[in-house]
């Protein structure tokens, strides 16, 4: 039997969600409510971080949100950053905000995450939001796992009763993803195996997987011999590799060897244009929720 492979386009799915958000913003304004307002704090001039933040600001404009970008020098001390976080916590005009990670080495990221008001923590990283997620209570879900859930649901990917292997145990993607897919909900009801780069029998596990979430942070880590025919692959990784044929001098690839793996799976998310756009719309959905 010849499989019909599907590309799970985060770009297309995100565009349809943006249209929904745009309609909700217009309805809010018609009802006399304020526009949702997202702020972002960016330290330094890291190229990747600037690209991510600019994409978030552009997405806000696209759906009719207000956005504020707070730029701070890379040598900003932790105390100064905490003061800015506190300022945004206490600004009623800001509904939600993020501090773009990673932060410079001299700043304790956890101190900053815990300083953000849980009611404005639209990245979903605060321990209170994480705890509420674990308990299945209303909260802001971490943006990337939330985006992946939306990608699965809106592309009619069945998850109930499936074996899902999540590779990567970060607090931002892997761990919350494993919790969300195991929940008694839709998407969810998976039997989940949480693996990582030190898992000894990884290939044995991935060959059993109906769904693989690759978030290990290693380029082309998942190869064709590690996946079974018809599996669903979500590639969270993003890596720059040199490519002299490109104007930029590089191209983006994921944690999955796309060219080889895509030939045997049922569906796969591309890099770029897969999980990235979904993360941004999940952030927008959280901001709308924060606006109340």
Which positions are catalytic?
56, 100, 123
CA–CA gap between residue 209 and residue 211 (Å, rounded): 5
Q: Which helix (H) or strand (E) holds 71?
A: strand 66-72
CA angle, 112 then 115 then 120, to 5°: 110
Q: In this structure, what DSSP letter does residue 151 have?
A: H
156: number of Cβ within 10 Å: 8
Three state DSSP letters for 9-22: CHHHHHHHHHHHHH
DSSP string, 174-240: HHHHHHHHHSSSSS---EEEEE-TT-TTHHHHHTT-SEEEE-SS-TT-B-GGGS-TT-EEEE---EE
Cβ burial of 228 (10 Å; 0-12, 13-18, 19+) is middle
Residues 6+ apart with CB under 8 A from 109: 101, 102, 103
Tell me how far apart the terminal alpha carbons of the chain are, to the nearest angstrom. Answer: 50
């Amino acid at each position: 039997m010849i499989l019909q492979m599907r590309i799970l386009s985060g770009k297309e799915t995100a565009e349809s969600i943006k249209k929904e958000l745009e309609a909700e913003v217009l309805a809010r304004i018609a009802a006399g409510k304020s526009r949702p307002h997202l702020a972002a704090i960016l330290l330094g001039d890291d190229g990747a971080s600037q690209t991510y933040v600019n994409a978030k600001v552009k997405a806000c404009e696209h759906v009719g949100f207000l956005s504020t970008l707070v730029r701070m020098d890379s040598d900003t001390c932790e105390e100064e950053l905490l003061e800015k976080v506190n300022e945004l916590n206490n600004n009623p005009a800001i509904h939600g905000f993020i501090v773009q990670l990673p932060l410079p080495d001299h700043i304790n990221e956890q101190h900053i995450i815990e300083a953000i008001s849980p009611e404005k923590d639209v990245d979903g990283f605060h321990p209170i939001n994480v705890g509420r997620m674990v308990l299945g209570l209303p909260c802001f879900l971490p943006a990337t796992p939330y985006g992946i859930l939306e990608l699965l649901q809106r592309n009619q990917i069945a998850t109930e009763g499936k074996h899902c292997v999540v590779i990567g145990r970060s607090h931002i993607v892997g761990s919350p993803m494993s919790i969300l897919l195991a929940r008694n909900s839709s998407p969810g009801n998976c039997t989940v195996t949480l693996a990582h780069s030190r898992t000894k029998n990884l290939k044995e596990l991935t060959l059993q997987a109906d769904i693989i979430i690759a978030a290990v942070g290693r380029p082309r880590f998942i190869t064709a011999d590690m996946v079974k025919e018809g599996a669903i692959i979500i590639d969270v990784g993003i890596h720059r590799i040199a490519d002299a044929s490109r104007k930029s001098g590089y191209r983006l690839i994921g944690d999955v060897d796309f060219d080889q793996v895509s030939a045997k799976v049922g569906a796969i998310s591309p890099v770029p244009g897969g999980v990235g756009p979904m993360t941004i719309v999940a952030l927008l959905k959280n901001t709308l929720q924060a606006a109340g």
